[in-house]
Amino acid sequence: MIRLEDVWRTYTVGESEVDALKGVSLEIARGEHLALIGPSGSGKSTMLHIVGCLDRPTRGRYLLEGREVGSLSEDERSHLRRHRIGFVFQFFHLLPRLSALGNVELPMLFAGTPAGERRERAAAALDAVGLAPRAAHRPDQLSGGERQRVAIARAVVMDPAVLLADEPTGNLDRASALEVMSLLEGMNRRGLTLVVVTHDPAIAERARRVVRMSDGEIQGTGDRGPGTGNDPGLPGARCPDPEPRDRG
Amino acid sequence: MRLLDLLGFAAGALRGHRLRTTLSVAGVAVGIAAVVALTALGEGARAYVVDQFAALGSNLLIVLPGKVETTGAAPFGGVTHDLTLDDYRAIARLPRVRRSAPMAVATDSVRYRDRGRDVPVLGTTADFADVRRLEVGSGAFLSAGDPEEGGNEIVLGVTVANELFRGESPLGQVVRVGPWRFRVVGVLAPRGQSLSFNIDDVVFVPVRTAMRVFNRSSLFRILVDVRMRDELALAKRDVEGLMRERHRADDVTVITQDALIAAFSSILRVLTLALVGIASVSLAVAGVGIMNVMLVSVTERRAEIGLLKALGARDRQVLAAFLAEAVLLALTGGVAGLAIGAAAIRVFVGIYPSFPASPPAWAVAAALGVSLAVGVGFGVWPARRATRLDPVAALARR
Ligand SMILES: Nc1ncnc2c1ncn2[C@@H]1O[C@H](COP(=O)(O)OP(=O)(O)O)[C@@H](O)[C@H]1O
Ligand SMILES: [Mg+2]
């Protein structure tokens, strides 16, 4: 469902060029739960942004559900983000002026969903993360764990195919982190493809497959096999390019 | 994205910064209020002047010697014939003319005992009072009769009478104009400015006398009162034709009161527009204020913009959202400014009830249109900056 083929992402900083991704190839199947780990600056977020159609590869191909994203127009890419992709961030990124319900309604606002339906679906999504009683609260009236759960409700309210979480527990205490992770895993069990970037080995361990990155390259894949609740019939992923490569 | 949702979203964002929002709304409001109030005053002044002119009687034609462009500069080209009493009599006989009055003018000192006053001396006939709608306060105006006779009666404007006689009755008294003696037959009721003279501060003598003592060969003007207002243009052509025939040249100018009013009206309108132009500067300042607020807003809300893009908002929608904020600011300011301007005019009219000040409809429409334009014009650049933000960079916490 997600397929990266020899993806490079090069930033130009002044005179010099920084390769954030150096020829990454990766395949993620529908319904997978994948953890992306690696030291800070290894390119995890960069990769997530490319997968989420927020950024484009400098070189290489990225296919989402069979479509090459690099060749799509900006409007088509925002359409993908709106309908196929959900994002969860380390810093929640809730709009402070809106209630929990208002924040969850946001994606539907830009999709042009009528107000009544919007309210209903947002309320249902909040209910699914256990926050129905907090619907009217603003983010500053919620705990970190609750904020992240609101963000998760917002990420799934459009019923996306894949949920991308960039260190979703990075700002949470252990209890909230576990709560958030079990929420995400529950959604994964119901078919949502889940990619989680994390620092935390304990969080990574819960994933069916772990991809380790270092210096813009994939270092290895640990396929943990069935056991975390994933559908055992799903194909395992391989790391197609085990050799370290250098540019030019 | 639906329009109502868009406006709701923008209004929500503005409510998040009450003080900032209030200040930029106030900026626009002041600009719009100034424009509205000044337009109302300017238009009021114009209406006032036009009314005053119309009260003079709008069936008036004014004949002046020389072919001039409406306002009275020097005649150009060829010899100019005098405007004579015979011309006046010929005009007065035209069928479309109800009445006519000649005017000869000089300035001289009018003296009674040891008191004197330099005033315009108007030589005319009895009909002048009717043509100009003058009212006599005491005594009578110049007597009707043959204008060629030229008696020694004099009619005083009310200011002249008060200055020279200080409460004494002037009727029947003898005053001197230069070396000549005149007998006072009447004093006018107060009137004020009428065309180019302050009627209160002039004296009237028979036209023939005036031409003789001041050695004038030509009349200054001939005033013509036309029977029917509809026939003003025809009467004007009659007079021009008559004079062309009599002088065998096109050497007089006939202006209608309407032309005068129109000239004044357009001068005052230009003044009003100039005032509005000055007031618009404050609108431009307010626009820059909005732009500033929106730029700050875009910078502050980078993360929000990144988020909206991550949630699938199209560039167009991000642009619309920020533009809607600027337009809301400006339109709110516009409406508030209209209200403030209207209130200011009410206060003004309360103080000067005779002044017909009210904002013309076009000014109200223009104020709203302009504030909309200010919002769009000054909001579009910040909004474009918002859409150009790279969502990845905008979302990153640095
Ligand atoms: N906008 C940018 N400009 C220049 N370099 C960048 C930019 N964004 C990321 N990088 C660089 O790319 C590399 C990978 O960054 P990132 O994907 O954020 O790492 P991670 O998420 O694994 O910590 C880092 O070396 C970082 O400095
Ligand atoms: Mg990162």
Closest residue to A109, CB basis, from B1, B307, B310: B1
Pocket test for ligand 1, best of A46, A199, A214 (most atoms within 8 A of CB): A46
Domains: count for chain B: 2
Pocket test for ligand 1, best of B389, B390, B392, B397 (most atoms within 8 A of CB): B392
CA distance B17 to chain A (A): 10
Please identify which residue in the block is written with the tokens 């009013």: B261
Looking at B215, B250, B285, which one is the last position of a domain? Answer: B250
Q: Is B241 helix (H, G, I), strand (E, B) or coil?
A: helix
Residue with the smallest CA separation from ligand 1 atom 20 is A41
Give the C-alpha separation, A171 to B236, whole Å.
Answer: 92
Residues B109 and B244 both lie in one domain: yes
Which pairs with CB-CB distance under 8 Å and at least 24 residues apart come from B111-115?
Answer: B111/B164, B111/B175, B111/B176, B111/B177, B112/B164, B112/B165, B112/B170, B112/B173, B112/B175, B112/B176, B115/B163, B115/B164, B115/B166
Q: Would B293 be classed as within a structural domain? A: yes
Q: Which residues pair with A5 in a beta bridge?
A: A61
pLDDT digits (tens, 9 = 90+) for A63-87: 999 999 988 999 999 999 999 999 9
Gyration radius from chain B CA atoms: 33
Q: Which residues of B touch A10 (CB under 8 A)?
A: none
CATH number of A2-230: 3.40.50.300
Mutation site, B17, B297, B311, interface A, largest A CB count within 10 A: B311
Q: Which residues of B touch A40 (CB under 8 A)?
A: none
Pocket test for ligand 1, best of A9, A11, A22 (most atoms within 8 A of CB): A11
pLDDT digits (tens, 9 = 90+) for B168-190: 899 999 999 988 999 999 999 98
Q: Which of ligand 1's atoms lies nearest the C-alpha of A13?
A: 4
Residues B8 and B140 both lie in one domain: no
Q: Which of ligand 1's atoms lies nearest the C-alpha of A42?
A: 22
Residue B357: partners with Cβ closer than 8 Å, 6 or more residues away: B40, B41, B43, B44, B345, B348, B349
pLDDT of residue A247: 43
pLDDT of residue A224: 66
Give the C-alpha separation, A122 to A176, whole Å.
Answer: 22
State whether residue A106 sits within 8 Å of chain B by CB.
yes
CA B227, chain centre distance (Å): 28
From the CA of A16, which ligand is nearest?
A: 1
Residues B106 and B236 both lie in one domain: yes
Residue with the smallest CA separation from ligand 1 atom 1 is B393
Note down the domain range covering B158.
81-250
Report the 10 Å Cβ neighbour count for B22.
14
Looking at B217, B250, B283, which one is the last position of a domain? Answer: B250
Give the C-alpha separation, B71 to A65, whole Å.
Answer: 83
Residues B298 and B318 both lie in one domain: yes
Give the C-alpha separation, B145 to B125, whole Å.
Answer: 8
- DSSP characters for B1-50? --HHHHHHHHHHHHHTTHHHHHHHHHHHHHHHHHHHHHHHHHHHHHHHHH
Give the residue ranges of chain B where pLDDT is below 50: 70-75, 398
Q: Would B198 be classed as within a structural domain? A: yes
Closest residue to B317, CB basis, from A52, A87, A110: A110
Please identify which residue in the block is written with the tokens 């800070």: A40
Give the C-alpha separation, B391 to A96, whole Å.
Answer: 19
Residues B197 and B323 both lie in one domain: no
Cα distance from N-terminal residue to C-terminal residue, chain B: 31
Q: Would B63 be classed as within a structural domain? A: no
Residues B181 and B271 both lie in one domain: no
> Could you give the ipTM of this predicted complex?
0.87
Residues B287 and B144 both lie in one domain: no
pLDDT of residue B264: 80
Nearest CA in chain A to B1: A112
Residues B268 and B123 both lie in one domain: no
Under DSSP, the state recorded for B168 is S
Looking at B250, B278, B304, which one is the last position of a domain? Answer: B250
pLDDT of residue B397: 65
- DSSP characters for A58-87? SEEEEEETTEEGGGS-HHHHHHHHHHTEEE
Burial environment of residue B277 by CB neighbours within 10 A (0 to 12, 13 to 18, 19 or more): exposed
Helix (H) or strand (E) holding A149: helix A144-156
CB contact under 8 A, B304 and A95: yes
Give the C-alpha separation, A134 to A141, whole Å.
Answer: 9
% of chain A at pLDDT higher than 70: 90
Residues B220 and B286 both lie in one domain: no
Domain positions in chain A: 2-230
State whether residue A124 sits within 8 Å of chain B by CB.
no
Please identify which residue in the block is written with the tokens 């009721």: B189
Residues B190 and B240 both lie in one domain: yes
Residues B246 and B296 both lie in one domain: no
Gyration radius from chain A CA atoms: 18
CB contact under 8 A, B5 and A109: yes
CA distance A133 to chain B (A): 23
What is the Å distance from ligand 2's center to B181 Cα?
A: 110
Give the residue ranges of chain A where pLDDT is below 70: 224-248
Q: Would B74 be classed as within a structural domain? A: no
Residues B222 and B370 both lie in one domain: no
